[in-house]
Amino acid sequence: MLKIGNLKIKNPLFLAPMAGVTDHPFRLICKKFGAGVVYTEFVSANGIIRENIKTLDMMRFTEEERPLGIQIFGDDPEVVGKSAKMVNEMFKPDIIDINYGCPVPKVTKSGAGSGAMKDLCLMDEITSAVIESTKNTPVTVKMRAGWDKDNIISTEAGVRLEKIGVKAITLHPRTTSQKFTGKSNWNLIKELKESVNIPVIGNGDINCLDDYKRIIDTTRCDGAMIARGALGNPWIFKEISNYLLNQKVEKNITLKDRFKLCKQHYQLLKKDKTEHVCLNLTKKHFSWYLKGFNGASDWRKKFMYSQSVDEIESNLESFEKYVY
């Protein structure tokens, strides 16, 4: 059993925080399929201290989602520390995670996200401020390998973070300049694992059970965090969970499975979102779910061209007849 601080985690499979994706409905679905820990979308420290309604809504969760982490990002240690205290008191998550991994320029240009990896002293200050503000909640970090290929600092940063008091580190071993191109260098996860005594979670290029097996065998990391590998494929958590539990691994996803998931996800979105947001998110997720079968392209187009939730529901009824 994995321990992060005093938190015991039975299943070391993590759903990564992803902007515009890991909202309440998608977290529930991934939990149902076997994710051990889920994360909210990453949220701005500035938005938190201003009590921005949209920001606060992104952090709301239900008890069935636990254990759950809330990930925050920012470039000002005082602001990030204050935001972490507010998150801890208002929402009481199981984990507070600091984002040192986002490579998007609008985040990194101020020194937030993976921009902090250009200044290890700033990273130290932000991390210390969060830990001091959240005494009873384990603080973790998700980070990249470094800014670019000439500045790989993940092991040095990890050693420093452990000394400050971080309880676990997730490493996505790409650089900021790579963004999501090229390959993850899993050897950096292995190097970090051999250099610290806290849990190390491997992340990057985990798209199936075989990838999971390889990253564990290659790096000896303590768990795996899945991000893009779960888009349109929450079944990946079931596949890996069944393997870990020595249960039968079902790799064949049927058309009925896809229909049932589309219907379930739509119903969760309809209950949780405004009609406009529900429509847009339904289209986004259905574009990922509806792949890999005869006629998939035509069905994707039907849903993508839907102008209302009524049209989505009508197309779902037609899709059900097609499936059954």
Q: What is the pLDDT of residues 264-322, one digit of tens each?
A: 999 999 999 999 999 999 999 999 999 989 999 999 999 999 999 999 999 999 999 99
pLDDT above 90 (res 109): no
| Cα angle 8, 11, 14; round to 5 | 100
- Mean pLDDT of the region 167-192: 95
* Cβ–Cβ < 8 Å for 252, 42: no
Q: Is 102 a catalytic residue?
A: yes
- Please report which confidence band the pLDDT of residue 263 belongs to, taking 50, 70 and 90 as the band edges: very high
- Mean pLDDT of the region 246-260: 88
**CA 48 → CA 138, 207, 303, distances in Å?**
19, 33, 35
Q: Which of 102, 221, 262, 278 is catalytic?
A: 102
pLDDT of residue 121: 94
pLDDT above 80 (res 251): no
216 backbone φψ class: left, alpha, beta (φ>0; ψ -120 to 50) = alpha
pLDDT above 90 (res 164): yes
Quick one: DSSP state of residue 261?
A: H
- Mean pLDDT of the region 238-255: 88
pLDDT of residue 250: 76
* Cβ–Cβ < 8 Å for 76, 45: yes
Strands (E), the chain: 2-4, 7-9, 13-15, 37-39, 43-44, 68-73, 95-100, 139-146, 168-175, 200-203, 223-226
pLDDT of residue 245: 86
- Mean pLDDT of the region 57-86: 97
Q: What is the pLDDT of residues 1-12, one digit of tens each?
A: 899 999 999 999
- Half-sphere exposure at residue 151, Cβ-oriented, CA atoms within 13 angstroms: 16
Q: Domain spanning 2-244 has what CATH number?
A: 3.20.20.70
pTM here is 0.94
Q: How far apart are CA 276 and CA 159, in angstroms?
A: 46
Q: What are the residue ranges spanned by the domains of the chain?
A: 2-244, 255-323
